[in-house]
Amino acid sequence: MIQLPRKNKIRVQKGHLEYFTAGNGGPTVILINGSGGPLEGWYKIIPKLAESSSVVAYNRFGIGGSDKPLEPQHGMAIVESLREMLRELQIQPPYLLVGHSLGGLYANLFARHYVKEVSGVVLLEASHPNDLALNQYQGKIIQTMNKMLGLFDSFSKNNKLGEVNYVKETVEQINRAIPFPDIPLYVVTGGKKVHKWLMPTEVYNIRMENQKDLVGLSNQGKQVFAPSSGHFPQITDPEIVIKAVKDCIQSISS
């Protein structure tokens, strides 16, 4: 069984955040979970990434062992709490951001606001600002996966300050921000069609078009398909995700 690093907690202005770090080397890889997803969801890719890079994973407020949120969890609040955590841990930029699902919006927003702090981005089945039915498909899939993993946490739409309730604000923040920087960008898209009860065909087709659109955020954008994956390539196609991250690191270095 894969052993994850020991989890720790660190105090930031709005409370305690749960995190772990692994490995050495740069740029530091920052793993940004999907909506309600705990850091344990990265268990299949962390050991390999940590062989050559520093890796940080964490739970946002309201998830896992992190404190409940004290303020609305829109995109900029999440970006700033992440930056504060990294400063407290004395982990210096630039970072390679890896965003899964809704975490892709936060990586997108981070890169636009703090261009000098981000050297590359990898998006895994990431949300696009124009995705329709965003809350519906993410909520069903992630809640199901959390139950399967036995990692269901207290995060839900019933939490009035929770991030699911502020997706619209996050998208508006992205749309108001400067253009995405011209940096290495890898978009990993699941090649396995999701069951209709999880995502209607119309929504699936729109998302596939939006995945192509994400690639165009940067002149250095590349799309990678994970053929065995639906919404969780880091679990069902971990080697493809690991390669995408390592290829992004190589692109940064060249």
Q: Please give the average per-residue pLDDT across 114-126, as a whole number.
A: 98
Q: Please give the average per-residue pLDDT across 148-156, as a whole number.
A: 39
Residue 238 Cα distances to 54, 164, 190, angstroms: 18, 26, 12
> Which residue shows structure tokens 């907690």?
9
Domain ranges for the chain, please list them: 8-253
- Asked if 34 contacts 138 with a C-beta cutoff of 8 angstroms, the reply is yes
Q: Across all residues in the chain, what is the average pLDDT? A: 88
Q: In the 8-state DSSP scheme, what is residue 35?
A: T
Q: Please give the average per-residue pLDDT across 175-193, as a whole number.
A: 95
Q: Which of 64-78, 124-138, 199-213 has the highest mean pLDDT?
A: 64-78
| Total residues found in the chain within this entry | 254
Residue 69 is predicted with a pLDDT of 94
- CATH T-level topology, domain 8-253: Rossmann fold (3.40.50)
Phi and psi torsions of 17, nearest 5°: -115, 135
Burial 84-95 (b: 16+ CB within 10 A, else e): bbbeebeeebbb
Amino acid identity of residue 104, one-letter, is G
Q: Please give the average per-residue pLDDT across 192-217, as a whole number.
A: 82
Q: How far apart are CA 160 and CA 138, in angstroms?
A: 18
- Look up residue 189 and give its two tokens: 């898209």
Alpha helices in 150-187 (DSSP H): 167-176
Q: What is the DSSP string of 38-83?
A: -GGGGTTTHHHHHTTS-EEEEE-TTSTTSPPPSS---HHHHHHHHH
